[in-house]
DNA sequence: CGTTGAGTTGAGAGTAATCAATGTGCGTGG
DNA sequence: CCACGCACATTGATTACTCTCAACTCAACG
């Protein structure tokens, strides 16, 4: 982790702050780098502040017992991390792990709170973030409960493409493991695996090395049954 | 639905507003009554404002297809409803249904927004509400995915008691249908039923008419496996 | 007295998790 | 350069859970 300059336009806090605050924010915030696979923060740790991603991608997870994890969401440049520390417990209820090499801005709690009080527009922006994430979370809750596994895996794929996009050949820009897809869809590694071989067999999906490409989105859709 | 006076101390908006605003809020807000079973608002309807419950209890649900519903949460006096209308779509992503006869305060969007801008403390309070609900939602998401059905039903019972309490005899204060418990636990009516007969057989649970009583919380806990 | 609908129970089917076995690639050390 | 071991990928077989469907009971009501 090392301190660096921050790309203003990619940082939530800078983007939504009053111009007058920007120089102050520059002083206050610290930028850290995380290597792929490193934990940015962990379930149970005391909350010290809030993070803004301005480079790389991150998975936000929650554990069940020792072995099982659920990926709650993926986050990418421009997204906020660690705001779940707000309210109640001063301990993170979740973990955040870098999926690629990442750069994140860190703002400590006291400065953030001061900013929120002084700058209602920022406060409103953050509230919007919360509201949207709450909506997404509840929708996902329903999906995880009522959809069958194949549908959930399909949804995971769409979600991942939505978050990270595809390269010029149509492959998902992020190298994501089948284990992570399983953790997002709330299923097991093997099940994802078998489904993928079924899909590649039918030509709906292609895999090249570690990367995945969707050939037939409509056919995928059809696995989502109401 | 009829207009009535509002019990100030049970209303989120009044409780967290500046004293100077209270009289204005009194002017602006409207109180409605809803009979048990009536929908307060429904998935897909345009968002017109926000509700505060000051009497009765409510289930907040989301539908999957035509038949399957998931109860996202229970709300009772003092809780906020309809704030998920914030951000993005101006349509409710969820429905709210009265579980008992209810009285709710309604504040229309424009006045709420004005209040939030003028009163940062209120804004912060609402943000806290969002943050806490987001935490709860994500925890529940994990539970629904990784716990087995019996554990989820147990959790539902605890959750319901937590929200609504028990009467002097230890029975859950709210008459809740097995269907609703199933919808909360993400399972079917029959499964809840069979589990309940198993539990009453072992003396862990008692049912009297429509009401439910937990005799042995520890034995119930043991169905939650990590 | 028949009908309706909700409460209750049982049998069967299907899905996905678990377990186990085999295959594959890679790095390391001899 | 080869042999070995380890971790991870892949696949098949088995198990177990829970959903679905259907039947039955019982009470209320016309």
A43-66: average pLDDT: 91
List the Cα angle B44/A144/A80 in 5-degree steps: 80
Is a pLDDT exceeding 50 seen at residue A1?
no
Is a pLDDT exceeding 60 seen at residue A133?
yes
Q: Is residue A223 classed as helix, strand or coil in its secondary structure? A: coil
Which phi and psi angles does A63 have, rounded to 5°? -100, 150
Q: Which residues 6+ apart lie within 8 Å of A95 measured at CB?
A: A39, A41, A42, A43, A60, A61, A62, A63
Query: B128 vs B191, which has greater pLDDT?
Result: B191
Mean per-residue pLDDT of chain A = 88
In this predicted structure, what is the pLDDT of residue A6? 57
- Answer yes or no: are the C-beta atoms of B141 and A64 closer than 8 Å: no
In this predicted structure, what is the pLDDT of residue B113? 86
Q: Is residue A187 classed as helix, strand or coil in its secondary structure? A: coil
* pTM score: 0.92
What are A97's strand-pairing partners?
A39, A59
In this predicted structure, what is the pLDDT of residue A75? 94
- Alpha-carbon distance of B161 to B23, in angstroms, equals 36
User: What does the pLDDT look like over B72-102, one tens digit per residue?
Assistant: 999 999 899 988 777 778 899 999 999 999 9
- Alpha-carbon distance of A129 to A123, in angstroms, equals 10
B144-156: average pLDDT: 96
Is a pLDDT exceeding 80 seen at residue B9?
no
A180-203: average pLDDT: 95
What are B207's strand-pairing partners?
B212
Beta strands across the sheet bearing B80-81? B30-34, B102-108, B49-55, B80-81
Chain B nearest C-alpha distance from A208 (Å): 30
Please name the helix (run of DSSP H) or strand (run of DSSP E) that holds residue A161, with its range, or none.
helix A149-164
- Across the interface, whether the CB atoms of A134 and B84 are under 8 A apart is answered yes
Nucleotides of D under 7 A from a protein CB: 9-13, 17-22
- Answer yes or no: are the C-beta atoms of A172 and A160 closer than 8 Å: yes
Tell me A204's DSSP state: S
In this predicted structure, what is the pLDDT of residue A162? 92
Nearest to A70 by CA among A150, A185, A172: A185
Mean per-residue pLDDT of chain B = 88
B142-161: average pLDDT: 96
In this predicted structure, what is the pLDDT of residue B136? 94
Q: Which of A118-132, A146-160, B51-65 has the highest mean pLDDT?
A: A146-160
Query: Please, which pLDDT band fits residue A135 given cuts at 50, 70 and 90?
Result: very high
Residue with smallest Cα–C1' gap to D19: B188
Closest nucleotide (C1' vs CA) to B178 is C7
A163-187: average pLDDT: 92
Query: B166 vs B88, which has greater pLDDT?
Result: B166
Query: Please, which pLDDT band fits residue B220 given cuts at 50, 70 and 90?
Result: very high
Residues 52-111 of B with CB under 8 A from A: 62-66, 68, 70, 72, 83-84, 86-88, 93-94
B173-185: average pLDDT: 93
A182-187: average pLDDT: 96
In this predicted structure, what is the pLDDT of residue B19? 75
User: Touching check for A186 and chain B: CB below 8 Å?
Assistant: yes
Query: Please, which pLDDT band fits residue A146 given cuts at 50, 70 and 90?
Result: very high
- Percent of the residues in chain B that have a pLDDT greater than 70, as a whole number: 95
A109-137: average pLDDT: 87
Query: A61 vs B110, which has greater pLDDT?
Result: A61
B92-113: average pLDDT: 90
B186 to chain A: which residues are within 8 Å by CB? 145-146
- Alpha-carbon distance of B96 to A163, in angstroms, equals 31
Write the secondary structure of chain B as one string of H (helix), E (strand) and C (coil). CCCCCCCHHHCHHHHHCCHHHHHHHHHHCEEEEECCCCEEECCCCECCEEEEEEECEEEEEEEECCCEEEEEEEEECCCEECHHHCCCCCECCCEEEECCCEEEEEEEHHHHHHHHHHCHHHHHHHHHHHHHHHHHHHHHHHHHHHCCHHHHHHHHHHHHHHHHCECCCCEECCCCCHHHHHHHHCCCHHHHHHHHHHHHHCCCEEEECCEEEECCHHHHHCCCCC
List the Cα angle B22/B26/B28 in 5-degree steps: 115
Nearest to A99 by CA among A152, A40, A185, A166: A40
Query: Please, which pLDDT band fits residue B45 given cuts at 50, 70 and 90?
Result: very high
User: What does the pLDDT look like over A9-22, one tens digit per residue?
Assistant: 667 777 777 777 77
- Percent of the residues in chain A that have a pLDDT greater than 90, as a whole number: 55
Is a pLDDT exceeding 80 seen at residue A116?
yes
Chain A nearest C-alpha distance from B5 (Å): 29
B113-119: average pLDDT: 84
Which phi and psi angles does B225 have, rounded to 5°? -115, 135
Footprint of strand D on the protein (CB under 7 A): A 177-179, 189-190, 193-194, 197; B 148-150, 186-188, 190-191
In this predicted structure, what is the pLDDT of residue B4? 55
| Lowest mean pLDDT, pick from A62-66, A157-161, A180-184 | A62-66
A186-204: average pLDDT: 95
Task: Give the CA B182 to C1' D15 distance in Å.
Answer: 26
A91-105: average pLDDT: 92
In this predicted structure, what is the pLDDT of residue A4? 54
B146 to chain A: which residues are within 8 Å by CB? 64-65, 68, 70, 186
The alpha carbon of residue A202 and the mean position of all alpha carbons in its chain are separated, in whole angstroms, by 30
């Amino acid at each position: 982790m090392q301190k660096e300059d921050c790309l203003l336009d990619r940082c939530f806090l800078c983007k939504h702050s009053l111009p007058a605050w920007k120089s102050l924010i520059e002083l206050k915030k610290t930028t850290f780098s995380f290597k792929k696979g490193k934990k940015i923060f962990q379930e149970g740790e005391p909350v010290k502040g809030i993070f803004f991603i301005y480079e790389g991608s991150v998975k936000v997870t929650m554990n069940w017992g020792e072995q099982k994890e659920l990926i709650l969401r993926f986050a990418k440049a421009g997204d906020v991390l660690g705001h779940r520390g707000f309210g109640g417990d001063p301990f993170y209820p979740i973990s955040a792990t870098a999926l690629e090499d990442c750069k994140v801005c860190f703002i400590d709690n006291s400065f953030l709170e001061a900013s929120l009080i002084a700058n209602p527009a920022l406060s409103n922006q953050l509230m919007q973030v919360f509201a949207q994430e709450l909506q997404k979370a509840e929708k996902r809750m329903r999906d995880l409960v009522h959809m069958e596994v194949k549908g959930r895996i399909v949804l995971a794929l769409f979600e991942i493409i939505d978050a990270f996009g595809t390269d010029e050949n149509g492959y998902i820009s992020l190298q994501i493991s089948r284990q992570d897809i399983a953790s997002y869809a709330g299923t097991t590694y093997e099940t994802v695996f078998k489904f993928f071989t079924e899909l590649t067999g039918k030509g709906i999906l292609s895999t090249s090395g570690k990367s995945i490409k969707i050939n037939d989105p409509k056919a995928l859709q059809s696995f989502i049954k109401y």
